Amino acid sequence: GEDVEQSLFLSVREGDSSVINCTYTDSSSTYLYWYKQEPGAGLQLLTYIFSNMDMKQDQRLTVLLNKKDKHLSLRIADTQTGDSAIYFCAPVRGGGGNKLTFGTGTQLKVEL
């Protein structure tokens, strides 16, 4: 099965940029998603990128994909306290089944 790894914790100051990294093992992943989870809540889709893209920008969010290294990153510009949450990357598993495999999640803490 696919392994998806993320750093567990990231702390940034308000106004700075945050970069959350993700590595995965299944090179046949077709879509790669980023989700946000606030305490005690479900997941909110933030953005996604197709595997044939290198970069996608969506307002304050920039997703970079290095398919060769199987590395995905999410950059949040001008990070706000409301961005404090857990962020999960989730590649769609290749080989059929169209199932999401969630990373371990990165706890982002934004400090004043």
Partner 1 sequence: GAVVSQHPSWVICKSGTSVKIECRSLDFQATTMFWYRQFPKQSLMLMATSNEGSKATYEQGVEKDKFLINHASLTLSTLTVTSAHPEDSSFYICSARPRGKTGWHEKLFFGSGTQLSVL
Cross-strand pairs, 55: 64
Buried b (16+ CB within 10 A) or exposed e, 74-87: bbbeebeeebbbbb
Q: Which of 11, 17, 28, 31 binds partner 1 (CB under 8 A)?
A: 31
Q: Which stretch binds partner 1 (CB under 8 A): 20-28, 41-49, 61-69, 70-78?
A: 41-49
Q: Which tokens belong to 57?
A: 């920008």
Residue number, 44 or 80, with CB nearest to partner 1: 44
Residue 60 CB, nearest distance to partner 1 (Å)? 19
CB 35 within 8 A of CB 88: yes
Sequence-distant (6+) residues with CB within 8 A of 12 are 18, 79, 108, 109, 110, 111
Q: Which of 7, 48, 75, 83 binds partner 1 (CB under 8 A)?
A: 48
Question: By CB under 8 A, is residue 21 in contact with partner 1?
Answer: no
Binding site for partner 1 (CB under 8 A): 4, 8, 30-31, 35, 40-45, 48, 50, 88, 92, 98-105, 107
